[in-house]
Amino acid sequence: MTKTFSEQEVLAFARHAYREGNAAFGVERDYCALLVIDMQEEFVKPHSTPFWVPEATRQVPLIKQLIEACRAKSVPVIYTAFARTHHYLDRPLAGPLMPNRYAEEDAAWFRDGVIWHELAPLEDEIVLYKPSYGAFYDTPLETILKNLHRDTVIICGTLTNFCCGTTARQAYERGFKVIFGSDITATDDPAMQEPELQVLRKGFAKVLFLDEILEQISRL
């Protein structure tokens, strides 16, 4: 007999996956790379632009802790930033039409892609300047990860539901395992944080707290 499912059963299944789902893979440190997404001045420097994410500023010490732990365990740290690339000709054409563009945007914003000074990359660490939300879009990130023999990305930074979430989806679709930090990613409206985490938890990533990530990468 073919099993049937009630509306209540499928709703319960969906809700459980959104709220309590746990991707069925472990965290193998030697195959991980840390992606520090867009922790640049425009998003982190207090009161500097309308794109400032206050929660990202508050999370700087946590992200710094993770960066230092990864460096200590030889986990590659890769940064991304929005910057002026290819005379802006590599941007999605519909970008300027989106409501998240500020009407009086200063041309000086998002030009140099300066990482917040407390999280500054080391000389031998890669900074990828990207033209859109996801870190894989028109960048060499996939090739870099493959050359590093890394099949798992740990994601921290901002914004949770734009650049971080899009990067997680792109990584998943390219066959990478995704670890997404729930308390080391931030968005401009705190009400949007948990809904995005729920979607990622159900279908794209293993969502963990910083303490859980640190525990995993510190294991022998």
At residue 181, φ and ψ (nearest 5 deg) are -80, 120
Residue 21 domain-assigned? no
Residue 197 domain-assigned? yes
Residue 173 domain-assigned? yes
Residue 134 domain-assigned? yes
Residue 104, pLDDT score: 53
Question: Tokens 């300066």 sit at which residue?
Answer: 114
SS3 95: helix
Residue 144 domain-assigned? yes
Among 149, 134, 158, 164, CA closest to 42: 158
When divided into structural domains, the chain yields a total of 1
For residues 192 and 160, the answer to whether their CB atoms sit within 8 Å is yes
Half-sphere exposure of residue 173: CA atoms within 13 angstroms, side-chain side:
10
Scanning 49-164, the segments in alpha helix (DSSP H) are 54-58, 60-72, 141-147
State which H helix or E strand residue 216 sits in: helix 210-218
Residue 188 domain-assigned? yes
DSSP codes of every residue in 4-21 = ---HHHHHHHHHHHHHH-
**CATH number for the domain harbouring residue 39:** 3.40.50.850
For residue 80, the cross-strand partners are 37, 128
For residues 155 and 37, the answer to whether their CB atoms sit within 8 Å is yes
Residue 219, pLDDT score: 83
Scanning 98-162, the segments in alpha helix (DSSP H) are 141-147
Residue 52 domain-assigned? yes
Per-residue pLDDT of the chain (220 residues; tens, 9 = 90+): 788 999 999 999 999 999 999 999 989 999 999 999 999 999 999 999 999 999 999 999 999 999 999 999 999 999 999 999 998 899 898 988 888 877 655 568 899 999 999 999 999 999 999 999 999 999 999 999 999 999 999 999 999 999 999 999 999 999 999 999 999 999 999 999 999 999 999 999 999 999 999 999 988 5
SS3 36: strand
Among 205, 1, 172, 112, CA closest to 185: 205
Q: How far apart are CA 217 and CA 220, in angstroms?
A: 8
Residue 79 domain-assigned? yes
Expressed as residue numbers, the domain containing 125 is 27-218
